[in-house]
Amino acid sequence: MLRVSKLTDYATVILTHIAHQPDELHAASDITQSTGVALPTVSKVLKLLSKANILISHRGAKGGYQLAKKPNETNVAEVITAIEGPIGMTECMTSKGTCEQEPSCEIKGNWSLINRAVYTALEAVTLADMAAPVRQQAVSVVMPMTKETNELKVEN
Amino acid sequence: MLRVSKLTDYATVILTHIAHQPDELHAASDITQSTGVALPTVSKVLKLLSKANILISHRGAKGGYQLAKKPNETNVAEVITAIEGPIGMTECMTSKGTCEQEPSCEIKGNWSLINRAVYTALEAVTLADMAAPVRQQAVSVVMPMTKETNELKVEN
DNA sequence: CTTATATAGGACTATTTTAGTACTATATAA
DNA sequence: TTATATAGTACTAAAATAGTCCTATATAAG
Ligand code: FES
Ligand code: FES
């Protein structure tokens, strides 16, 4: 079904919450209350985000987490990568040399382009976007094209 | 890691193979030989693709499968949907009414836009593209935008 | 210095999803 | 009638994910 994991979904909810008060410290226990996600799970997500330098942590009493960068400087692709690891639509994209039919594979190149297109789409959405009301914009994405149409359809 | 399942990957390999001879019938046993994928697995994939009307099946002796449409009329989004079910980045996208925090959820709208962007990217690639050598093109995708930039960045 | 608080890190279990296989029924060409 | 090939379904095994828990470490405050 091509979906992100639950943890990633939690991560966006949590980060969106934090993005509303970017300068304050947010303890895991506070976030549990405001999001409804169980404490151990919240804790796990926060650790992963901290490790990926999306959040900065402060230990000890009165500690907590805050955004490492401005809300518009962290995007969804980074969040997904922090929780799930590198984004690659097929196994061959993330784990090199594993695939037996790699030498003769003719579709790898196209998957790589699809990959880039999806990544670009995810990269275009920031925490600021998530925290803000929904509006619309257009973004250009690199894609493979058919043999027949030998020129760019849309230029950016 | 945001990836399609192995079966989906097989499906693209198989369909790309068939797309090279769109008018001939391809039996599961033939496809096993030319792709290296185990027969029961090939069989499973072909059945799913047939059920989704991406392939047409012919039973009995000298039977097999062929493309239901021209190679450029079937896209990757359809293939993924055929094997994995509806494409939705989060659970809330595909299974309505399940999420407890749906009423108060402020990020659903943005996930919906991300979803559409990814879908558009996948929709833009056809079997003809997969079968052809890799080239480049640009495609426009609808995305959410920040509060500040209240106008379209790129028009298509 | 001591205590309470909060994150860091890792290990572990349970659950869910995916992959792969097998078997029976049905259709068709020869 | 027989050989061949798909349809449909059920089942098992393997892998990924989700969720929990425990111990160590850092820090603010009394
Ligand atoms: S399927 Fe692995 S490299 Fe193409
Ligand atoms: S998280 Fe389920 S609707 Fe937003």
Tell me, what's the pLDDT at A151? 33
List of chain B residues whose C-beta atoms are within 8 Å of the C-beta of residue A136: 113, 142-145, 152
Residue A69 domain flag: yes
pLDDT tens per residue, range B39-98: 999 999 999 999 999 999 999 999 999 999 999 999 999 999 999 999 888 887 776 555
Q: What is the pLDDT along chain A (156 residues), one digit of tens a residue?
A: 688 999 999 999 999 999 999 989 999 999 999 998 999 999 999 999 999 999 999 999 999 999 999 999 999 999 999 999 998 888 777 765 556 566 666 777 788 888 888 998 899 899 999 988 666 555 555 555 544 433 323 333
Mean pLDDT computed over B117-139: 81
Residue A151 domain flag: no
Using a 6 Å cutoff on CB, does residue A48 contact ligand 1? no
List of chain B residues whose C-beta atoms are within 8 Å of the C-beta of residue A134: 109-110, 112-113, 144
Structurally, chain B folds into a number of domains equal to 1
Residue B136 domain flag: no
Going by C-alpha positions, the residue among B155, B144, B148, B82 that lies closest to residue B116 is B144
- Alpha-carbon distance A57 to A27, whole Å? 9
- Tell me the pLDDT of chain B averaged across its residues: 83
Residue A50 domain flag: yes
CA of A117 to C1' of D28 (A): 48
Residue A112 domain flag: no
- Alpha-carbon distance B91 to B97, whole Å? 10
In this structure, what CATH number is given to the domain that contains residue A17?
1.10.10.10
Confidence band, pLDDT 50/70/90 cuts, at residue B137: low
Instruction: Kindly calculate the radius of gyration of chain A based on its CA atoms and give it in whole angstroms.
Output: 19
Tell me, what's the pLDDT at B121? 87
Polymer length of chain B: 156
**Domain membership of residue A71 as a residue range:** 6-85
- Alpha-carbon distance B12 to B127, whole Å? 8
Q: Output the six-digit token pair for B142.
A: 């609808």
Tell me, what's the pLDDT at A95? 63
Confidence band, pLDDT 50/70/90 cuts, at residue B155: very low
Measure the N-to-C terminal CA separation of chain B; round to a whole number of Å: 30
For testing the chain A interface, which of B15, B16, B145 should be mutated: the one with the most A CBs within 10 Å? Answer: B145
The pTM for the full model equals 0.87
Measure the N-to-C terminal CA separation of chain A; round to a whole number of Å: 30
